[in-house]
Structure 1
């Protein structure tokens, strides 16, 4: 993972204390599209599981992720897909 992906991971770990976190750079799939940069690291998928999402709707969960990454989203990341789950939801999906 590159510098931007590493920064995303570090910021989410510090802000949301995830039980599980996966940051996937999808930039290569978007080469030539709007917002893509020659050096990549513009399009990401974040899969995050944290107890902080308990009792929150999907929009509220996404807002927490976006707030944690506000600086990167403003200056470096063009697109972010988010899969935000509670530990119970992640556990039930794993079965």
Structure 2
């Protein structure tokens, strides 16, 4: 994993995305510190993330369909662990 984030939530994000989408590139960035004092920021330090991934699963899919695939893989985490998620989902060669 190319990652700046190494906590338990980031680790679970990586595991779920690798299992569901088999990305050739995966970058998980913990943006939580940038949101200190904002809604959704919690003491865990793992509430806001950016994920960038390249996967053949995205070939022929539009932006919304790609985001749905990522959200589906992370569904349980989005309920109570992840407050905000920014997604950059690309097909190989994009």
Tell me the TM-score normalised to structure 2 length: 0.93
Equivalent positions of 1:1-95 (< 5 A) are 1-89=6-94
Give the distance between the partners of 1:30 and 1:68, measured in 2 at CA: 24
The structure 1 segments of at least 4 consecutive aligned residues displaced by more than 6 Å after TM superposition are none
Larger Rg: 1
Where structure 1 has 5 or more consecutive residues not aligned to the other structure, the ranges are 90-95
Tell me the TM-score normalised to structure 1 length: 0.92
| 1:8-48 C-alpha deviation (Å, 9 max, x unpaired) | 00100000000100111000000110000012100000001
Give the distance between the partners of 2:43 and 2:37, measured in 1 at CA: 9
